[in-house]
Structure 1
Amino acid sequence: MTAPNESSRSDEVQIVACPDGPLLVRGEVPIVTTDGQPVPRRRKTVALCRCGASTIKPYCDGTHKLINFKTEPVLPDGV
């Protein structure tokens, strides 16, 4: 069993930048359009498009693989 103060708490919000892929958003965080309108969300974890080519923006549809989207490596703080 996981202790309540560990990072795997179910109410924790986490955003993960997948290498050459989407942003994974975990937890209860609202997603809104540029004018502040809420975007429908059916899951606690969603993948947001970073390549700009998804047909279901703001969500990822896997197009980044087809277009060979590449991201710069993310370095830890202080490196």
Structure 2
Amino acid sequence: MTALAEPVRASQGEPTEAPAPTERHPRRVTVVPGGPVLVEGPVELCTPEGEVVTSDRFVVAVCACRRSKRFPFCDTSHRRRVRAQPSESG
């Protein structure tokens, strides 16, 4: 697994103006049940707080559970952590 790239955070307020595309290419968005939303990048995300966050990765995992410490990006906090039960011996 590769390390997650640090997002580029723009100043709060209005989203930055996206460059006009020369051709329209649809973005693929995949909703993972119980997990993140995968978006083909690069992306620019506008958070509920008005912050604009960008990522130039080829696929970006967007947090859908809001448990991520890297919100709006997923850090796999949605996964349940189950402790192994000690085995009973004798």
TM-score computed with the length of structure 1 as normaliser:
0.58
Pair 21,13 (structure 1): closer, same or farther in 2 beyond 3 Å: same
Match of 2:39 among 10, 20, 25: 25
Alignment of 1:42 onto 2:56: yes
**More helix per residue:** 1
Cα deviation per residue 1:35-60 (whole Å; 9 max; x = unaligned)?
65420313021001111100000000
Q: Distance in 2 between matches of 1:47 and 1:56?
A: 11
Give the superposed CA RMSD.
Answer: 2.2
Amino acid at match of 1:18: V
Pair 66,24 (structure 1): closer, same or farther in 2 beyond 3 Å: same
Cα deviation per residue 1:13-34 (whole Å; 9 max; x = unaligned)?
0111001100000144422223
**Contact 1:13 1:28 survives alignment (8 Å):** no
**More strand per residue:** 2
Greater C-alpha radius of gyration: 2
1:1-79 matches, cutoff 5 A:
11-34=25-48, 36-66=50-80
TM-score computed with the length of structure 2 as normaliser:
0.52
